[in-house]
Amino acid sequence: MDGPKQLLEYILTPSSEIFIVGAIIVLLLPILVHLYISRSTPYTHLPSIVLLGLPGGGKTSLLTLLERGDQALQTNTSQNPQSIELTVSDDHGASTFREAARDDAPGSHRKFLLIDTPGHPKLRLTSAMTHIASDDVKGIIYVLDASTLDEQLTDVATYLYDVLLTLQKRTGAGKTSKTPNAINVLVAVNKLDLFTATPATLVKSSLEAELGRIRQFRRKGLLESGVAIEDIGSEEQDNQLGEFGSEKFSFKQMLEFDMEVDVIGGSVLEGNVDKWWDWISGRI
């Protein structure tokens, strides 16, 4: 009886030893809890895939389709970014996005965020560039409406040009230090179910040609802007998309900057997005 009583009296009696032990417990306990939670959680930050494109292309509809796993919802033009958490199977090609949305088997999936960004001209660049700057981004899906490409080709290509150039500069900035993780791009050619839709192969060639024209136009603008002759070379090279000095542009030129650009057709309305899902699976 004396032993426990003496121990209790010792603990309750103020002393420097008691204060030191108490301080150590107070300081170390939160750190130990934090380390335990961090190690038991697979991701501190989830990897993410970012949806970009003009309004009406089908970004938000694609988001709802992958979230629900059955059909896309009718959506309005989004004004704010929104994200959902999805899982992708470790066994690539073993399941469609519908099956992945319902399969919760432990250890068989990897989680990621799918982020939808506004397509409005006043909002899209700021939102897009904010997300591109994140180290968590593993890929970008640029969604376009294949049924209206003829009317929107310049706008579609201009936005895509700015996105690709930002990624190109991001990779180039890392050449002198630690190279950033590569961010690949999928041009998702949507609404191929419509009669007026341009086939994916023609979309690719049309975009390459238009991106080349934009590059020439911007080069001409730089030459006419009054930039000093000695500065034109470096300024032009920093702001030219793809291979510097090349006459024509092609998506293959982006491989020089550790960036792969794929152009793949599909249809959100018909649920024909399995190839896009496979592309996502290969990046997460």
**Which residue ranges make up each domain of the chain?**
2-39, 46-281
Whole-angstrom distance, CA of residue 271 vs CA of residue 86: 17
Tokens of 59: 């970004």
Q: Measured at the alpha carbon of residue 246, what is the angle toward residues 242 and 251, in degrees to the nearest 5?
A: 40
Q: Are 189 and 264 in contact (CB under 8 A)?
A: yes
The whole-number pLDDT of residue 174 equals 46
At 95 the pLDDT is 56
pLDDT at residue number 244: 79
User: How many C-beta atoms surround the C-beta of residue 55 within 10 A?
Assistant: 16
* Residue 42 confidence (pLDDT): 45
Which tokens go with 238?
């920093």
CA dist 186 and 270 (Å) reads 19
Chunk the chain into consecutive blocks of 10 residues (it has 284) and report each block's average pLDDT, rounded to whole numbers. Answer: 59 61 64 54 73 93 88 64 84 57 58 86 72 86 96 95 91 59 93 95 97 89 55 59 85 93 95 93 88
Residue 170: its pLDDT value, please?
83
The span from the CA of 166 to the CA of 6, in Å, is: 71
Q: Report the pLDDT value the prediction gives residue 40, as an integer from 0 to 100.
A: 45
Q: CB pairs under 8 A, 24+ apart, for 204-210?
A: 204/251, 204/263, 206/149, 206/153, 207/153, 207/156, 207/157, 207/160, 207/263, 208/248, 208/249, 208/250, 208/251, 209/249, 210/153, 210/154, 210/156, 210/157
Spatial neighbors of 51 by CB under 8 A, at least 6 apart, are 59, 62, 63, 114, 115, 116, 117, 140, 141, 143
**Cα-Cα end-to-end distance for the chain:** 62
Classify domain 46-281 at the CATH class level: alpha beta
- CB 185 within 8 Å of CB 262: yes
> What is the DSSP annotation of 190-217?
E-TTSTTPPPHHHHHHHHHHHHHHHHHH
Q: What is the pLDDT of residue 235?
A: 53
Q: How far is residue 195's CA from residue 187's CA, in Å, rounded to a whole number?
A: 20
Per the structure block, which two tokens stand in for 56? 């009406």
- Quick one: pLDDT at residue 284? 82
